[in-house]
Structure 1
Amino acid sequence: MIGPTAPRERWITRPDVILHGEEVGAGATFLLLHAGGERRQVWGPVSEVLVDAGYRCVAFDQRGHGDSEGTARTLSACADDITAMVHAEPPASVLVGASLGGLAAIAALTDPAVRAKVAGLVLVDVVPCLEPSRVRRFLASVSLSGAHTELVEDILAQVPLLRQVTAELDLPVLLVHGDNGSSLTDDDIDQLLRLAPHTTVRPIQGAGHLIARHQPVALAQAIIATTTAWR
């Protein structure tokens, strides 16, 4: 018999791709959305802490990543995938999105039906107030500037929409950011707080942009500490 802490495979069939994922644990659900260039396994150490605390975690490879099919070319395609993931989960799931995952989650929340099923949004080292030239420099610094150029440019074109959606959100929001090599500046955080004043901000010491890799335990603890009251 497969116990609640043993990963269980998941698939979602979309019109153009099949998304491959897994779930682990039992209890209130976190839907974990990885960054561009990553895959679902990056959430493993974070999930261990969340599952031990009595939660259930679901993580899919985004299209064009890991075991999922297709190519991630537009933010709307990634957002539509997340919409499908949300509708496959029980009510009151919390979206946890790192970088691309966070931006696609914001885009998915344009749909009232998605907002109605979600208890809150955790942004992991990403904000909707993207400054194009700085984004491109950052991606070049981590050798990702040429890997997803079409997707990056599409995301940058969607910044006005991302800002609008964030400003209209009536869901609780948590921003977790690194303090060492983060992609965010104090001004980025201030802009988010002006858009969504109800946002909680938690820095993670010793973490860069990929907090799930650098400080997974601290990330999980920050998520638990803030989101417990959301459901």
Structure 2
Amino acid sequence: MHPDPTIARLPAANAGERLPGTPLPMHYWEGARGVRLAGDSWGDASAVSVVLQHGGGQTRHAWKRTGEVLGAAGYRAIAFDARGHGDSDWAADGDYSQDLMVQDLQCVLAQEGAVRPVLVGASMGGGTSLVAAGERRVDAAALVLVDIAPRAEAGGVQNIMAFMRRNPDGFASLEEVADAIASYQPHRERPRHLQGLAKNVRLAADGRYRWHWDPRFLEGDHDMARRQARLEACASALSMPSLLVRGGMSDVLTEEGVREFLALAPASEYVAIGAASHMVAGDRNDSFGAAVVEFLMRVVPAAGPPLADAEREALVHRLDRSNLRDLP
């Protein structure tokens, strides 16, 4: 589906103006309760679909390099902004529950005509993917969870929420935006070109830069015990090939959390990416891409002849040039 400016927008569409030079969505889909979802895709529309779902506070742009490589490897990669994020609409009723996000995923898949897709999700998007697959709400061919498992460390989650709650009055400049990101992710190199941060914010009517997510997103249900119980049941019910990827420096998913997941889903595979924090794909896009491409080529081969080793290595190497600077 291609951008259609005639699609009616909800009154609660994302606030603020898009900054010049930020990429327009390739597609729009209608999500649950009429929320319009924005996204991009790579690869042939008839190929195996790989749906990439980002974490809370992120956007589809976190997956750009991964999507390009998957598309070149013969898959149909689809990344969309979750409701209340990026170029997708803000929910008029402020509902950003996990069940509605699963419904949004179902809507995108139905409109794309995707049959037995691969689900790849990071953090929040991983929770959505795990529920969709584990509760059989999506007939997934495979599942990739990125630094997300039923057990999440409270301290790491609190760090993310604290960052997202900072600067409620916005920023006076992109320099201030860069300062905020650097304070949260000190292990990453500070971006040299601040214009690349423009996709992370909107320019409000008062001239201040504000994050690209609906602040009401933070007001949802944060019952960690109930969340863990639900995700444990979903993990125990997994029957498709699955891969768990953990950032070696993550404060959200620990090795103990990994062991508990593997006990619930013993057929799952596990890869740890060293020198990566919770935002694995952004920190080490090369290693992350290599792990995911290698896994998918084994368990859900793309349509067409298999790639030679040299071709696959060349595709993965493209990820090493990633300049992602997205948010947690």
Counterparts in 2 of 1:152 and 1:211: CA distance versus 1, 3 Å: farther
Gaps of 5+ in 1: none
Q: Identify the residue that residue 105 of structure 1 maps to in structure 2.
A: 129
1:151 is aligned to 220
Q: 1:139 aligns with which of 152, 160, 167?
A: 160
Q: Which moved more, 1:27-36 or 1:144-153?
A: 144-153
Q: Report the equivalent of 1:82.
A: 105
TM-score of the superposition, structure 1-length normalised?
0.86
Unaligned 5+ segments in structure 2 are 3-24, 167-214, 301-328
Alignment of 1:111-130 (within 5 A): 111-112=135-136, 114-115=138-139, 118-130=140-152
Distance 1:145 1:181, change over 3 A: farther
Please report how far the alpha carbon of residue 73 of structure 1 lies from its aligned counterpart in structure 2 after TM superposition: 2.8
Residue 169 (structure 1) aligns with: 238
Is residue 32 of structure 2 the alignment partner of residue 14 of structure 1?
Answer: yes
**Per the alignment, do residues 205 and 136 of structure 1 end up closer, same or farther by CA in structure 2, a change over 3 Å counting?**
closer
CA deviation after TM superposition for structure 1 residue 160, in Å: 1.0
Aligned residue type for 1:112: R
Cα offset, 1:144, TM superposition: 2.9
Q: d(CA) in 1 for partners of 2:287 and 2:147?
A: 14
Task: For 1:189 and 1:111, locate their aligned partners in 2 and report how far apart those are by CA, in whole Å.
Answer: 20
C-alpha distance in structure 2 between counterparts of 1:159 and 1:90, whole Å: 29
Match for 1:106: what amino acid? L
How far is the alpha carbon of 1:57 from its aligned partner?
0.8
Q: Give 1:21 deviation, angstroms.
A: 1.1
Alpha-carbon distance between aligned partners in 2 of 1:152 and 1:177, rounded to the nearest angstrom? 25
Identity value in percent: 30
Pairwise CA RMSD? 2.3
More relative contact order, 1 or 2 (CA 8 Å, 6+ apart): 2
Post-superposition offset of 1:156: 5.1
2:122 aligned with 1:95, yes or no? Answer: no
For residue 193 of structure 1, report the CA deviation from its aligned partner: 0.5
Partner of 1:215: 284
For residues 123 and 221 of structure 1, do their structure 2 counterparts lie closer, same or farther at Cα, with a shift above 3 Å needed?
same
Q: Say whether the 8 Å CA contact 2:134–2:233 is kept in structure 1.
A: no
How many residue pairs end up in the alignment?
222
Contact 1:74 1:150 in 2 (8 A): no
Q: What SS does structure 2 have at the residue aligned with 1:158? A: helix
> In structure 2, which of residues 38, 45, 49 is the aligned counterpart of residue 29 of structure 1?
49
Distance of 1:140 and 1:39 partners within structure 2: 16
Q: Deviations over 1:144-191 (max 9, x none)?
A: 367543335156533211110110111111011111245211100000
The CA deviation at 1:124 is: 0.5
What's the CA shift for 1:110?
Answer: 4.8
More divergent stretch after superposition (88-97 vs 37-46): 88-97
Give yes or no for the alignment of 1:227 onto 2:245.
Answer: no
In the aligned structure 2, how far is the partner of 1:187 from the partner of 1:64? 32
TM-score (norm. length: structure 2)? 0.62
Q: Aligned equivalents of 1:17 and 1:204: distance in 2?
A: 35
Instruction: Say if 1:157 and 1:16 are closer, same or farther in 2 by CA, change over 3 A.
Output: farther
**Residue 72 and residue 86 in structure 1: after superposition, are their counterparts in 2 closer, same or farther (change >3 A)?**
same
Question: Is the CA contact (8 Å cut-off) linking 1:178 and 1:206 kept in structure 2?
Answer: yes
